[in-house]
A and B are shown apart, each in its own frame.
Chain A
Amino acid sequence: MALYENRKRANAIWLGLCYASVVFGLTFLVLILITLFWNGFSGLSLKVFTQSTPAPDSEGGLLNAIVGSLIITILGVLIGTPLGILAGTYMAEYGRNSKLASVVRFINDILLSAPSIVVGLFVYQVMVTRMGHFSGIAGAVALAVIVIPIVVRTTENMLLLVPGSLREAASALGLPRSTVVQRIAYKAAQAGLITGVLLAIARVSGETAPLLFTALNNQFFSTDLNAPMASLPSIIFQFAMSPYKGWQSLAWTGALLITLTVLGLSILARTLSSQGRTR
């Protein structure tokens, strides 16, 4: 009977620890969100969207950073997405079981979780040192390098879900392979492909490390791609580390804006992909 009691006790203790770990994990995560919203909303005003970043101890907003972030992110996604989709297409449609596809798959997975600061160093040497100065376009390229593996992964997975019979039906009608892929497979996997792109946007919109020495930062409003460009993450980094209260408060507001964007995009991506699955 003692053995039975011991087993019961061990069960209760270990399962109790599991519950405790959930409480521990969720507490921290909820705490982070609460402080973020608390500190972020208090600094939120119309000025944030209409004025550029201020000098210390004066009033201002985040307009240049918001615009810069939008430009760099959109450009990065525009560069990275077509490449990612095409590479994913090769792996799912043409080289499904080939040696090349499995090597690319492996390398892609490594790139997917490679430290983003290393990507920054890469683009710094390839672009910034060649051009001689930091620039918005270098920042966009750095983000594109991060976008590519995400899009490749989702494209491949989503195309693999498209039933082969659909492709066979189209081929039987005499359509060439490229049309089958472009008109039938892409169409069937549409929701999944969009999900991949949304996830990629969500991921890069908060990236800071690769921007630090590619796009650098800019205290003034600028849309010149050939010049240093402000972005929300790098402004947050600079302002949070500064001793000025006004800057710190703007950093929290910027953090709130990024988090809302990221959460919104992730939720959108989730609803899209779950719709695609039930259909």
Chain B
Amino acid sequence: MADIAVKSGRVIDEAAARARVLTGFKFRDTAFRWLTLSAAVIVLLLLGGVIATLINGSIPAFKAFGFRFLFTNVWNPATGQYGAPAAVYGTVITSIIAMVIAVPIGLGVAIFLTELCPHALRRPIGTAIELLAGIPSIIYGLWGLFVLAPFLQQHVQPLLIGLFAKVPVFNILFAGPPYGIGLLTAGLILAIMVIPFVSAVSRDVFDTVPPLLKEAGYGNGFTTWEVISNIVIPYTRVGVLGGVMLGLGRALGETMAVTFVIGNADVIPTSLMAPGTTISAAIANEFTEAVDELYTSSLIELGLILFVITFVVLSISRLMLMRLERQAGR
């Protein structure tokens, strides 16, 4: 029977057609697989490309200054002398101010949302905070420049100057005329931007604590705070740290919000209220004005330094969060 079927022309045609369709399937399969694979490789190349172009762009500055760029505190386009310390200092100080304010408050908000908040309010408040994390940074900058800076200048900074005038160390940190704009204002704006991040990540992390553990704590007569400090926080330590580092990475690289309120002075001020600059603010402000190659290249080298710093911070953060995910999956 089969022989006859194969011998009749119609069936042979059908078999050939079937084979053609199957080859087509196979071809499309392979093509699609390669397409997706190459897209994934492009993502890798993207990061490689960013690093390569930054290194390539900073070669002239590196040739001119070498490692002095990192340690010589000078930024003078007129004489063609450039150095990173002022910008790096501003970046680090504003981020530290931001984290000192944002971490306790972000954690407080997360604790409120997971442990204290009535169920009906949990979703709206959580959603509101997540939406606020999505507001563009330029909006925060605008608000900082027109609302926060004048307010600090008129009300908060004179108070701080008066309060700490006779206290050693602090009288240097809080010295000088109240400009309104400066490192402190930039740190505060960054803190407001980072709070939603810290609280959103910590909230997700707190939600992974098994209810059984908390119930055991309450069963032993713990107060709510004791459950939080002895069970919830130790259990989620790694994840919370990951979230904090993620916020720090954001604060370090944030550009627009800082550029508006930092004051853009290429100096290392001793007072927290004095104008300064950060890496990203310097790039944003000066890049289009930079005419000669050395100036542009110095700004790109600043960008490279920023990228290296944030890369390290973000890597640590991701590794911590990944460790937590693996833990939760177990």
Contacts and interface: CB of A to CB of B under 8 A. Distances in A.
Contacts, number: 261
B254 A259 contact: no
B225 A29 contact: no
B47 A107 contact: yes
B50 A119 contact: yes
Interface string B33-75: 1011111111110110110011011000000000000000000
B295 interface: no
B308 to A, nearest CB: 10
B192 A28 contact: yes
A42 B307 CA distance: 40
Contact of A24 (B105, B140, B256): B105
Nearest to B42: A83
A221 B7 CA distance: 73
Contacts of B136: 205-208, 233, 258-259, 262
B237 interface: no
A133 interface: no
B252 A18 contact: no
Main secondary structure on A side of the interface with B: helix
A79 to B, nearest CB: 12
A91 B108 CA distance: 36
B49 to A, nearest CB: 7
Contact of A117 (B111, B143, B280): B280
Nearest to A83: B39
Contact of B288 (A148, A178, A207, A213): A213
A161 interface: no
Given A181-B32, A259-B136, A113 B256 contact: no
Interface in B85-134: 104-109, 111-112, 116, 125, 127-132, 134
A126 B249 CA distance: 25
Given A117-B303, A178-B32, A209 B57 contact: no
Contacts of A182: 32
A110 B146 CA distance: 33
B225 A125 contact: no
A36 B143 contact: yes
Interface string A176-191: 1111011000000000
B303 A114 contact: no
A149 B283 contact: no
A208 B109 contact: no
B232 interface: no
Interface centre among B135, B140, B195, B280 (most CB of A within 10 A): B135
A255 B138 contact: yes
Given A17-B108, A95-B40, A8 B142 contact: no
Interface stretch (A50-58, A59-67, A98-106, A162-170): A98-106
A87 B256 contact: no
Interface string B18-38: 000000011011011101111
B250 interface: yes
A212 B287 contact: yes
A73 to B, nearest CB: 12
What are the 10 tightest A-B residue pairs by CB atom distance, in nearest-first order? Answer: A206-B136, A115-B253, A21-B108, A86-B39, A90-B36, A178-B32, A11-B223, A87-B39, A176-B25, A209-B255
